[in-house]
């Protein structure tokens, strides 16, 4: 808004053609509070035909402090209130001002006191003591001065409202950005982006859109097509019914690609960001109402935040996968010196993750478990080869030596302060404990055993029973399920066993994907 837009005028015909921040579909609401009917009629006659920022004036009448309070509480907000000082009491107007500012807590409405008896409330005292925007003697309010008062207070209200709208927009932007930053995994990132767009544009009831979901879609270029990452609103319903991406959206995406930048008009916004590692990504947003410049500006900033976050998540995901692969390789090298069990730790990792998710553990805990579970038998580094690779059943002495791997693993990993390794230390030390207290090495019982250890205990047994051993054949699925059921409440947490049984199909898929492969 330029300085020329601040000129006073009866019809504001010199105002800029730029779109105002506040919607032009609604009138400026003015509340007249006075116990004299003639004052209402004269004020209405002078102000009712005025226009400001391309909108007319809506006047509401109250004839007492009590009636004004009821209107304020029940109706939509007002931009201006013209309040008589003396009504049912000599200080009714002053008390109404105090109520509006202190009890009703409306700091935006412009308050102008008018009085025909200035002696009852001296101007200097009132201006100093009460949070008002002007104080006028009714006798000096000519038609011109009353209009000037209207325009100056409405302009002040508009500018305060603009600042508040911008502040709310900034708050929404920070909130939306923080939520997508918290999306720790790429698969849920695109959905998180779309979920926050509605909140981002919801500045207030008269701003960019309503609280209903916007139509939006996130996509990335895939050769000559677009791969859909996530969708919301009507577009999501369309894609769920296996309909192709609408032609108009494809055309918008093509335009953004040709421009190598974001584009927008009154109806849609197309965000474009190109990341070297992941390629071109596009964001389509169709609001429920006309997109103004504020909304598009917020979306521009948000899209840049999305691009930065997407890039960071991509690199983070690459590091995470490399770290997990390193854990697998080290675990397989140290834990099993038998080539026919080369993928055991991978299967245990993925099965433990599934069981933890189904059990309802937090996402962060499940992710840590995925990394910690492969280290459960790392203590076998301290077990001699002739025992570890023995092709016959263990003697009691062999079992005692093998039993040392729990404490060895727990001690090795327990030296770290890293959350994943601390979890791995507990798992290594406890994964041979039994629910009934008959396990080793410390005969822990029930919930004394860490939940992650109880999970790994089950999936470790499931996978071990499904493997061929030199001294026995692999168990069939029915035999494994029977073993779990008989061990529920004895070896295994009885809450976890039914969940594990429900996941047997998924566990079988993991075994098929990562079979034991002799090298």
Q: Are 42 and 184 in contact, with CB atoms under 8 Å apart?
A: no
Q: How crowded is residue 122: how many other Cβ atoms within 10 Å of its Cβ?
A: 11
Cα-flanking dihedrals φ and ψ of residue 81, to 5°? -130, 125
Q: Is the link from the previous residue into 441 a cis peptide, with omega within 30 of 0?
A: yes
Q: Which residues contact 250 (CB under 8 A, 6 or more apart)?
A: 226
pLDDT value of position 14: 33
Burial 37-74 (b: 16+ CB within 10 A, else e): eebbeebeebbeebbbbebebebbbbbbbeebbebbee
pLDDT value of position 339: 45
Instruction: Evaluate the CA torsion angle 201, 206, 209, 210 in order and state its sign.
Output: positive
DSSP-assigned states of every residue in 217-267: EEEEEETTEEEEEEEEHHHHHHHHTTPPPPHHHHHHHHHHHHHTS-EE-SS
pLDDT value of position 195: 65
pLDDT value of position 519: 46
Residues in the chain: 519
Q: Which two tokens stand for residue 307?
A: 């691009």
pLDDT in tens, the chain (519 residues): 333 222 222 333 333 333 333 444 589 999 999 999 999 999 999 999 999 988 999 999 999 999 999 999 999 999 999 999 999 999 999 999 999 999 999 999 999 999 887 666 787 788 889 999 999 988 888 999 999 999 999 999 988 887 777 676 666 666 656 655 555 555 556 666 666 676 666 543 333 333 344 677 777 777 778 877 777 777 877 777 778 888 888 899 899 989 988 888 878 888 887 877 667 878 888 876 677 777 777 777 777 777 777 677 666 666 666 666 666 666 665 655 554 556 888 899 999 999 999 999 998 899 889 989 988 888 888 888 777 777 777 788 888 888 888 888 888 888 888 888 899 999 999 999 999 999 999 999 999 999 999 999 999 999 999 988 777 888 999 999 999 999 999 999 999 999 999 999 999 999 999 887 654
pLDDT value of position 206: 33
Measured between alpha carbons, how far is 441 from 399 in angstroms, rounded to an integer?
12
pLDDT value of position 177: 61
pLDDT value of position 209: 30
Q: Are 425 and 414 in contact, with CB atoms under 8 Å apart?
A: yes
- Which domains can be identified in the chain, with CATH numbers? 3-164 (3.40.50.2300), 182-314 (3.30.450.40), 336-513 (1.10.3210.10)
Q: Which two tokens stand for residue 223?
A: 């050769």
- Alpha-helix runs per DSSP H in 360-450: 363-372, 385-388, 396-413, 419-430
């Amino acid at each position: 808004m330029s300085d020329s837009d601040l000129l006073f005028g009866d019809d504001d015909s010199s105002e800029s053609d730029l779109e105002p921040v506040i919607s032009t579909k609604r009138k400026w609401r003015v509340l007249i509070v006075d116990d004299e009917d003639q004052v209402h009629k004269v004020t209405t006659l002078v102000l009712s035909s005025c226009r400001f920022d391309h909108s007319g004036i809506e006047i509401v009448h109250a004839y007492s402090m009590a009636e004004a309070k009821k209107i304020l509480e029940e109706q939509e907000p007002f931009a201006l209130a013209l309040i008589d000082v003396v009504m049912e009491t000599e200080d009714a107007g002053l008390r109404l001002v105090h109520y509006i500012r202190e009890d009703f807590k409306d700091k935006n409405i412009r308050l102008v006191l008018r009085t025909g008896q200035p002696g009852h409330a001296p101007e200097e005292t009132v201006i100093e003591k009460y949070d008002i925007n002007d104080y006028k003697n009714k006798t000096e309010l000519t038609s011109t001065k009353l209009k000037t008062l209207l325009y100056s207070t409405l302009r002040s209200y508009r500018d305060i409202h603009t600042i508040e709208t911008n502040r709310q927009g900034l708050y929404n932007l920070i909130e939306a950005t923080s939520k997508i930053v918290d999306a720790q995994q790429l698969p849920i990132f695109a959905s998180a982006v779309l979920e926050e767009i509605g909140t981002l544009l919801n500045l207030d009831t008269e701003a960019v859109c309503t609280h209903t979901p916007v139509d939006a879609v996130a996509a990335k270029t895939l050769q000559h097509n677009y791969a859909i990452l996530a969708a919301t609103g009507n577009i999501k319903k369309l894609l769920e019914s296996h309909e192709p991406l609408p032609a108009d959206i494809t055309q918008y995406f093509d335009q953004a690609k040709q421009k190598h930048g974001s584009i927008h008009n009154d109806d849609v916004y197309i965000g474009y960001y190109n990341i070297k590692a992941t390629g071109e990504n596009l964001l389509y947003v169709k609001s429920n109402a006309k997109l103004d410049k504020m909304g598009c500006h917020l979306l521009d900033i948000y899209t840049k935040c999305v691009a930065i976050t997407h890039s960071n998540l991509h690199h983070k995901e690459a590091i995470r996968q490399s770290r997990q692969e390193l854990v697998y390789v080290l675990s397989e090298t140290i834990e099993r010196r038998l080539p026919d069990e080369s993928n055991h730790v991978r299967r245990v990792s993925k099965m433990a993750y599934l069981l933890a998710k189904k059990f309802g553990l937090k996402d962060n805990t499940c992710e840590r478990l995925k990394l910690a579970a492969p280290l459960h038998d790392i203590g076998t580094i301290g077990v001699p080869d002739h025992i570890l690779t023995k092709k016959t059943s263990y003697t009691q002495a062999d079992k005692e030596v093998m039993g040392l791997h729990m404490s060895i693993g727990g001690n090795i990993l327990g030296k770290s302060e890293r959350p994943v390794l601390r979890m791995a230390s507990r798992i290594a030390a406890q994964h041979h404990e039994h629910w009934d207290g008959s396990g080793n090495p410390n005969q822990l019982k029930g919930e004394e055993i860490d939940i992650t250890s109880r999970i790994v205990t089950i999936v470790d047994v499931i996978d071990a029973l499904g493997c061929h051993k030199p001294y026995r054949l692999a168990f069939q699925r029915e035999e494994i399920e029977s073993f779990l059921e008989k061990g529920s409440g004895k070896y295994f947490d009885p809450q976890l066993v039914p969940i594990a049984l429900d996941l047997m199909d998924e566990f079988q898929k993991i075994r098929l994907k990562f079979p034991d492969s002799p090298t």
